[in-house]
Amino acid sequence: MPRRPGRQATTELADNSAVDAEGEEPETGPMRRCAVTRARLPKEQMFRFVVSPERALIPDLAGKLPGRGIWLSASGDVIEGPQRAKDGPRAKDGAVKDGTARPDAGPGTKGRELVRAIARAARGPVLVSPDLPALLETALVRRIGDFLGLARRAGQAIAGFEKARDWMRSHPTGLVLQAADGSEAERTRFRSAVQETVPVLDPLTGAELGRVFGHENVVHVVVAPGRLASSIVMEAGRLAGLRTTSPRAAQDLSRQAEPDLTSHRATRRETAGINDATSTNG
């Protein structure tokens, strides 16, 4: 019998009657079906999960873990984890009425819907972290930083206002990253030198960008075209979707965050929607 993680870290759907017998879909081709909305979307706009031997839901952001995948849209409305109940009368096990809950309080309505959908897809009860959105956001920020670090070490990324602008004059530019908490006036001044075909995104803070380049704070980064830049754009799109509350808006953001960086077809107007929807344009 598999070991079950502690209750304080997970929420389990114990009602086996909620599990249906819908057919499995092979994990082939570019499209995947969301376990919650049942919509078919490009896999770049979704998150893949697998179920561990202990029946815990494990995020697979790289899409490489063995096992049958469970796919969820990269949307804050879809992945609104099984948060603790806050509505007093409906909360179980003594949740209080002042907006707080004891550790053993039950999940909220959307959290229960998410857990049921995952259980249907997994054909059995699954343990889902109550902090799933935060865990995914942390992992995405880390992945963006990791890809950016690889680009820096490969000589494909440069940081700093003057250094980055000088670099753009003599090198092809695939992507510009700016600190989400940077000065809007300074960010605007830097963008005046960026070609219209280059996407400008701001998924990370100045401190997060700074850690990649060994500085306390970085506001401007330029990345050369290529696979690493494309990976950063994709993860930034999924992060933007996770931070939104509208599934349709999340899908639009993910589509906007998929430029062909080798041909420079994306424009700043296309990527501006990502920044606006996540309130990171200043």
More confident residue, 155 or 99: 155
Q: Do residues 16 and 80 share a domain? A: yes
Report the candidate in 2, 105, 89 with the shortest Cα–Cα distance to residue 54. Answer: 2
State pTM to two decimals. 0.72
Mean pLDDT across 118-122 = 94
Which among 99, 130, 161 is the end of a domain? 130
The DSSP call for residue 21 is -
Give the Cα separation of 207 and 180 in Å (integer): 10
Say if residue 255 is in the same domain as residue 149.
yes
One domain for residues 58 and 155: no
The DSSP secondary structure of 74-101, one letter per residue, reads S-TTT----PBP-SGGG--SS--SSS--
Does 126 share its domain with 143? no
Q: Is the pLDDT assigned to residue 138 strictly greater than 80?
A: yes
Angle in degrees, CA 158, 160, 165, rounded to 5: 75
| Distance of alpha carbon 79 from the chain centroid | 10
CATH of the domain at 147: 3.30.1330.30
Is 227 among the domain residues?
yes
- Is the pLDDT score of 23 beyond 80? no
Residue 1 domain-assigned (yes or no): no
What pLDDT is recorded for position 108? Answer: 57
Work out the angle between the directed axes of helices 227-242 and 268-277 (0-180°, nearest 10): 40
Do residues 126 and 148 both lie within one domain? Answer: no
Region 47-62: what's the mean pLDDT?
Answer: 96
- Specify if 42 maps to a domain: yes
Do both 107 and 185 map to the same domain?
no
pLDDT of residue 28: 72
Residues 157 and 267 in one domain: yes
For residue 111, the model assigns a pLDDT of 74
197 shares a domain with 66? no
Range of the domain at 230: 136-277
**pLDDT surpasses 90 at 48:** yes
Place of tokens 């942390």: 138
Residue 143 has pLDDT above 90, yes or no: yes
DSSP state letters, 181-240: TS-HHHHHHHHTTS-TTS-EE--S-HHHHHHHHTSS---EEEE-SSHHHHHHHHHHHHHH
Residue 282 resides in a domain: no
pLDDT confidence of residue 82: 57
Q: What is the pLDDT of residue 279?
A: 35
**Same domain as 119, residue 14:** yes
User: Distance between CA 274 and CA 282 in Å, rounded?
Assistant: 13
- How many domains in the chain? 2
- Domain edge (last residue) among 85, 113, 130: 130
**Residue at 250 is within a domain:** yes
Q: Is the dihedral of CA 94, 97, 103, 105 positive or negative?
A: positive
Same domain, 113 and 160: no
pLDDT in tens, 189-243: 999 999 989 999 999 999 999 999 999 999 999 999 999 999 999 999 999 999 8
> Are residues 125 and 20 located together in one domain of the fold?
yes
172 and 47 in a single domain? The answer is no
- Whether residue 258 contacts residue 234, with contact meaning beta carbons closer than 8 Å, is answered with yes
